A = this chain, B = another copy of it.
């Protein structure tokens, strides 16, 4: 193998599109979620793929995502800020192409559900739309939007209110089998992967003489 070294100057000199493609790969495997939001129950539903969902804590159960105020996801961010609720729906490999298409820039009054054929799904007590096809759906309550001045993005943090998941995929100790649910991983801007487990390890403890 021949190892390539790319310097900060090389990164700065890259063509804009090449750099976006390249740098988006450097964080490694990413989750693929579609974010469901609306202007009210069954009103102006929006669906947008987000690949920056990150675990922030288990107690309280918090997830963050990085959003850019001035892009296609503006409708989603406005809905979340106005109504304080949204859903996160893990994307599964059988419908990655539909999930990817939610990134297209439709007018605000066009539903990405209708354009992709994905099916809006509502819990009785929660007015943001989930995706019926998703094997792992979360109802989220907005907790905080933290501005990131470095590049004018925001870390949008929500608290998990409800989880819907196939009972058979939850192990006795609480582990959810993402591979069994066919949950996808993304690399870069556009490449979707399936997951195959290669190992599960015990809680890491120091070896002798440091145990």
A residues near B (Cβ < 8 Å) are 1-8, 11, 14, 16-33, 51-64, 66, 90, 93, 96-97, 100-107, 110, 115, 136, 138, 143-144, 146, 148-151, 153, 155, 157, 159-168, 170, 173-176, 178-179, 183-207, 210
Given contacts A25-B178, A29-B30, A198-B93, contact A103 B204 (CB under 8 A): yes
B57 touches A185 (CB 8 A): no
Residues of B within 8 A of A153 (CB): 56-57
B55 touches A23 (CB 8 A): yes
B62 touches A150 (CB 8 A): yes
Residues of B within 8 A of A103 (CB): 204
A207 touches B115 (CB 8 A): yes
A176 touches B25 (CB 8 A): yes
Given contacts A2-B168, A23-B160, contact A173 B18 (CB under 8 A): yes
A19 touches B174 (CB 8 A): yes
Q: Which of B106, B144, B193 contacts A197 (CB 8 A)?
A: B193
B148 touches A16 (CB 8 A): no
Residue of B nearest to A54 (CB): B54
Instruction: Report the minimal beta-carbon distance from A137 to chain B, rounded to whole angstroms.
Output: 9
18 contacts between A and B (CB under 8 A): A4-B164, A4-B170, A6-B163, A7-B161, A8-B162, A14-B174, A19-B58, A22-B174, A23-B59, A26-B63, A26-B160, A29-B195, A54-B66, A64-B66, A64-B155, A104-B207, A192-B197, A192-B200
